[in-house]
Structure 1
């Protein structure tokens, strides 16, 4: 693979200059702001602070992708997202579901074959194919929400709903280019910054409630 080859995948980009996607680039501040806010709120929770660090990296990686628009920048964009998903699922399994380290690791690892099976199915559905992998995440959140129930389950479900709206806006980006010249991808950033900050807060709230018990 040529890591320096460039990618034009978004409505806002019209060429390969650095600032061809100014709105998509700047709105990555949503991730960074959410990470800073939650970092300050999670002083006594090292695992939550780890999520904040990864969330900050998501903002940086996505900024690099929407400015350099290269293969290496694409990796810097998707790698922290994948890491956040796996770390968060592990914490859900270990701390919210109470599975313990070993079973939590196994349950988290199950996400990989789960996505492997589900993505080809989503590829057969025109709208869902655009953001195929991402749709696996809210579905997983809804499953966990139903399993765990209570305030934590409601928190996970709310996160899943926000993510569904966010993915929908991401999927419409190039489709609506003729109507919205700047695209809708920037709204994916804004909503995901809110959603990921919310997910960290759901974990924080659960852990604090557990300590009080």
Structure 2
């Protein structure tokens, strides 16, 4: 794999220049703003997992900015790796802290995300539109699956899982429409994926933060 290979993946990009995707690049500032807000709250409240998630959100902002400016294979990795890590850390937090599993069980179920995706992605690839963002669809489906289980412990947190999953479905749909609508809308729709996710991801950290703070006053 040539890590310096240029990638032209989005409607907005018309040339290999650094600022060929200005809207896609600059909307990453929304992620950064959310990361700063949540990092401040998480550190104040002494919540290490929420702090890690906030740092990863900041890395998502940086990695995505690099990918939408430099647009190379290595920049694509810088974009993708923090996203995967965010998902895994949040899943572990949901297992251990929300569902109150012992950490080895929580870690094992978190690791199960890998075979889950390996099974799901080929199935999604059978549907052309779903194949465009195949990996990402695994996340809202998981949120919806977790919601009724989480509801047994705290309905407000479960409602947040459903709301987060619904918003993510919308943002993934907009991400997937970027190329199909390119002729009609040259700017593309990828910036809307950034915009909605910059709301959804901090909101999911906030949901976890509130759950943890409420749990401090609730007997196990």
TM-score (norm 2): 0.96
Aligned pairs for 1:34-45 within 5 A: 34-42=34-42, 43=44, 44-45=46-47
Write the distance in 1 (CA, Å) between the matches of 2:114 and 2:209. 25
The residue aligned with 2:24 is: 24
CA offset digits 1:108-140 (Å, max 9, x no partner): 011110110000000000110000000000000
CA offset digits 1:57-104 (Å, max 9, x no partner): 000000000000000000000000000000000000000011111000
CA offset digits 1:151-175 (Å, max 9, x no partner): 1111111110110000000000011
Does residue 90 (structure 1) correspond to residue 92 (structure 2)? The answer is yes
The residue aligned with 1:48 is: 50
Quick check: which one's helix share is greater? Answer: 1
Write the distance in 1 (CA, Å) between the matches of 2:212 and 2:161. 14
Q: CA deviation at 1:46?
A: 1.5
TM-score (norm 1): 0.99
Aligned pairs for 1:61-72 within 5 A: 61-72=63-74
Moved over 6 A (4+): none
The residue aligned with 2:188 is: 183
Q: CA deviation at 1:39?
A: 1.4
CA RMSD of aligned residues (A): 0.6
Matched residue SS, 1:6: coil
Does residue 127 (structure 1) correspond to residue 132 (structure 2)? The answer is no
Does residue 194 (structure 1) correspond to residue 196 (structure 2)? The answer is no
Write the distance in 1 (CA, Å) between the matches of 2:25 and 2:80. 15
The residue aligned with 2:76 is: 74
In the alignment, structure 2 segments of 5+ residues that lack a partner are none
From 84, 91, 116, give the equivalent of 1:114. 116
Q: CA deviation at 1:41?
A: 1.8
Matched residue SS, 2:14: coil
The residue aligned with 1:102 is: 104
Q: Would you say how many aligned residue pairs link Structure 1 and Structure 2?
A: 213
Does residue 168 (structure 1) correspond to residue 168 (structure 2)? The answer is no
Write the distance in 2 (CA, Å) between the matches of 1:30 and 1:192. 9
